[in-house]
A and B are shown apart, each in its own frame.
Chain A
Amino acid sequence: MGWLRRHRSIIPYLFLLPGGLWLIVFFVLPLLTTLSVSLQEGSLGSGYRLTFNFAIFPESIMRWNEQFVRSLQYGLIVTILTMLIGYPMAYTIAFRGGRYKSALLLLVIMPFFTSFIIRTISWKFILADEGFVLGTLKDWGVLDPSFRLLATPMAVISGITYNFLPFVVLPLYVALERIDPKLIEAANDLYATRRQAFLKVTLPLSMPGVFAASLLSFIPAVGDYLNAELLGSRQTTMIGNVIQRLFLVNNDYPQASALSLVLMVGILVSIFIYMRVLRGQELGT
């Protein structure tokens, strides 16, 4: 205790210790392991040896180029969709929710009370060719009997969008809730119509929320495999599905690790570009 009193400045670091240890054990070590595994060669039977096989990275990109591009595309579309759906939701709760705010927020996170897999499987039933929705519409002759949603990109994208919507609504809500309504009144006072007040005041002030929300939907969406697995087909395979198959079915650990790292770097680069673009826009106003 005496020692601590003499070295007071160390105390903040002591507070960081539990978190720091946690990150080292569950983030840094696995990451290093993944890197090391990706640079090994061999097979499950004969064992693996570290050969510094850097060529595996360009090879992986070439070989699964299609799945990479598709994942980034889906991630982008999902991010745009969640934003288009989530922003009005968050806006309504924040500015019009009144005393129902908490109840509405609870509804937004309600889906988390059920497992991710169960929810996605129920989508499988909802979207099924002869399921309740499509079946009924087909019976009424509204849809062509050959129409299908399941196993199409639309099904996969809808699934991911649905699953990550709460991750978008919550940060947007927090950002919008923090905006002083007096600022919108001030804009109206200075001759801004409701639309102009939104574009010139509300939207720019909610940008930190938009930024956080888009990362929280883009990153997991790009790496997702469950929706493609359950709702998709061979034509909608995402990079997550490839990694999962390489790891768990083919037991090709180096290849799977290499793909994971490429995906990570790819996402980091996208985020970096995205941040630069946003920053530039902010300076422009």
Chain B
Amino acid sequence: MVGSAPNTDVRLDRVTKRFGDFTAVDDLSLEIRQGEFFSLLGPSGCGKTTTLRMIGGFEQVTAGSVFIGEREVTGLPAFRRDANTVFQSYALFPHLDVFENVAFGLRRRKVSTDDIRQQVEGMLKLVELPDYGRRKPSQLSGGQQQRIALARALVNHPRVLLLDEPLGALDLKLRKQMQVELKRIQGEIGITFIFVTHDQDEAMTMSDRIAVMRNGRIEQLGTPEQLYETPRTEFVAGFLGVSNLLDAEVAVRGERFIEAHLSDGTRLRAPADGLDGTRLVRIGVRPEKLRVLPVTDAAEPHDSDSNLLEGTVLDASYIGVSTQYLVETADGTRLTVYAQNLETSGANEGLADGQRVRLAWKPQHTFVIARNTGDEGDDQAKEDETKDHA
């Protein structure tokens, strides 16, 4: 087995975990860089927690190997791994006060009393609860418990910090606040964070890189921007934000762009990279990339490069920062458009239901997904559609 590259903090090498007949994590490989904020994102039950628990040592792998730093830790128990965990339910020790909770790891490692006092107090300051040492966990609010759980893990200066949906129990406002807080703390101490979440917004705002998981495998790995701009599968396209997908067939393969035809003959261009020889594809575009133009407008305001698609407005709803249109194309596909309300009396004002319009967008804002018939009936994907994209 080859050792990890020196700037890799965690490496999973073809890791599989089975519970009886059920495969929770399936032949998964992953490298997480030093100091990175890395997220495992996916719907409930896709194996995020199991993956995290195998790194922490709470679950042993069925096959494959786990490395933390240069050291292989496969088979080692949790207390012998250089990783600490922030549990979803916080798991603070109810019989110990805040100080002793934070000091727990240091005491096990026989740190001197003076050092313990100093480090615990420093850590309580970092999480902005300096005078809470003598309180019991039950006397703290959810957000405060969350901070103490973080302090309790970080005080040990582990190589990696594992966080399993740590903000899941907080209300929305506190959640946003803690997201910022977590990023600040990570920046200050520079420890690698591996963050599990099923919330795409949370993963997008916080992470350097995200692994989107599905059925125990990594569906796509990349920066938030890569995942959003060029999703490689329909699942990723649907899981991260809203996307419009159009069934098409590749007609011309250029060096930088391909040309694909819709069933009504409309020609659309999209970047060629990342696409193999597949002929049946889906052309995707995000709602905010689309511009709505009146079909009567003879003078083309766009460079001729733009993809153009005709349709009928089914619904227009004004939602303050933008107006949201639902447009139906010739083949019955419905597209969502977010048009920014740039002027108080918008340029698109007067677009009524039933009006014919033309949608325009740039080819480089387009992504292409191989049309995979096997995916169509997948329950998992359907389940994820229910996610709140508001």
Q: Which residue numbers of A lie inside 8 Å of B, CB to CB?
A: 180, 182-183, 185-193, 196, 200-201, 204-205, 285
Q: Is the CB of A187 within 8 A of B95?
A: no
Majority secondary structure of chain B interface residues (helix, strand, loop or mixed) = loop
Q: Is the CB of A201 within 8 A of B89?
A: no
Q: Within the assembled complex, what's the spacing in Å between the Cα atoms of A190 and B105?
A: 4
B156: Cβ under 8 A from any A Cβ = yes
B89 touches which of A182, A189, A205 (Cβ 8 Å): A182
Contacting residues, chain B, for A201 (C-beta < 8 A) = 93, 95
Distance in Å from the Cβ of B46 to the closest Cβ of chain A?
Answer: 21
Closest 6 CB pairs of A and B: A190-B105, A191-B108, A186-B91, A182-B91, A188-B78, A190-B104
Distance in Å from the Cβ of A4 to the closest Cβ of chain B?
Answer: 37
Q: Is the CB of A185 within 8 A of B91?
A: yes
Q: Within the assembled complex, what's the spacing in Å between the Cα atoms of A190 and B85?
A: 9
Most buried by B among A188, A191, A192: A191
Q: Which residue numbers of B lie inside 8 Å of A, CB to CB?
A: 56-58, 77-79, 84-85, 87, 89, 91-96, 104-105, 108-109, 152-153, 156
Number of A-B contacts (CB under 8 A): 58
Contacting residues, chain A, for B93 (C-beta < 8 A) = 183, 186-187, 201
A185 in contact with B78 given A190-B152, A191-B105 (CB within 8 Å): yes
Contacting residues, chain A, for B94 (C-beta < 8 A) = 183, 205
Q: Within the assembled complex, what's the spacing in Å between the Cα atoms of A205 and B91?
A: 13
Q: Within the assembled complex, what's the spacing in Å between the Cα atoms of A193 and B156?
A: 16
Distance in Å from the Cβ of B77 to the closest Cβ of chain A?
Answer: 7
Q: Is the CB of A180 within 8 A of B89?
A: yes
Q: Is the CB of B85 within 8 A of A186?
A: yes
Q: Within the assembled complex, what's the spacing in Å between the Cα atoms of A196 and B93?
A: 14
Q: Is the CB of A189 within 8 A of B79?
A: yes
> Residue of B at shortest CB range from A192?
B108
Between A and B, 22 residue pairs with Cβ closer than 8 Å are A180-B89, A183-B94, A185-B78, A185-B85, A185-B91, A186-B87, A187-B104, A188-B57, A188-B58, A188-B77, A188-B79, A189-B79, A189-B85, A190-B79, A190-B105, A190-B156, A191-B109, A193-B79, A196-B108, A201-B93, A205-B94, A285-B95
Distance in Å from the Cβ of B73 to the closest Cβ of chain A?
Answer: 13
Distance in Å from the Cβ of B63 to the closest Cβ of chain A?
Answer: 23
> Residue of B at shortest CB range from A282?
B95
Q: Within the assembled complex, what's the spacing in Å between the Cα atoms of A285 and B104?
A: 12
B108 touches which of A185, A190, A204, A285 (Cβ 8 Å): A190
A189 in contact with B78 given A180-B89, A182-B87, A196-B108 (CB within 8 Å): yes
Q: Within the assembled complex, what's the spacing in Å between the Cα atoms of A265 and B140?
A: 42
Distance in Å from the Cβ of A256 to the closest Cβ of chain B?
Answer: 45
Q: Within the assembled complex, what's the spacing in Å between the Cα atoms of A185 and B85?
A: 9
Q: A188-B57, A189-B78, A204-B95 are known; give 15 further A-B pairs, CB within 8 A.
A: A180-B89, A183-B91, A186-B87, A186-B91, A187-B93, A187-B104, A188-B77, A188-B79, A189-B56, A190-B84, A190-B104, A191-B156, A196-B108, A200-B104, A201-B95
Distance in Å from the Cβ of B165 to the closest Cβ of chain A?
Answer: 13
Q: Within the assembled complex, what's the spacing in Å between the Cα atoms of A205 and B56?
A: 24
Q: Within the assembled complex, what's the spacing in Å between the Cα atoms of A187 and B87?
A: 12
Most buried by B among A190, A196, A200: A190
> Residue of A at shortest CB range from B100?
A285
Contacting residues, chain B, for A189 (C-beta < 8 A) = 56, 58, 78-79, 84-85, 153
Contacting residues, chain A, for B84 (C-beta < 8 A) = 189-190
Distance in Å from the Cβ of A98 to the closest Cβ of chain B?
Answer: 13
Q: Within the assembled complex, what's the spacing in Å between the Cα atoms of A271 and B320?
A: 70
Contacting residues, chain A, for B58 (C-beta < 8 A) = 185, 188-189
Contacting residues, chain A, for B109 (C-beta < 8 A) = 191
Q: Is the CB of B108 within 8 A of A180?
A: no
Contacting residues, chain B, for A188 (C-beta < 8 A) = 57-58, 77-79
Contacting residues, chain B, for A285 (C-beta < 8 A) = 95-96
Q: Within the assembled complex, what's the spacing in Å between the Cα atoms of A140 and B85?
A: 59
B87 touches which of A185, A191, A204 (Cβ 8 Å): A185
> Residue of A at shortest CB range from B102?
A190
Contacting residues, chain A, for B87 (C-beta < 8 A) = 182, 185-186
Q: Within the assembled complex, what's the spacing in Å between the Cα atoms of A180 and B96?
A: 15
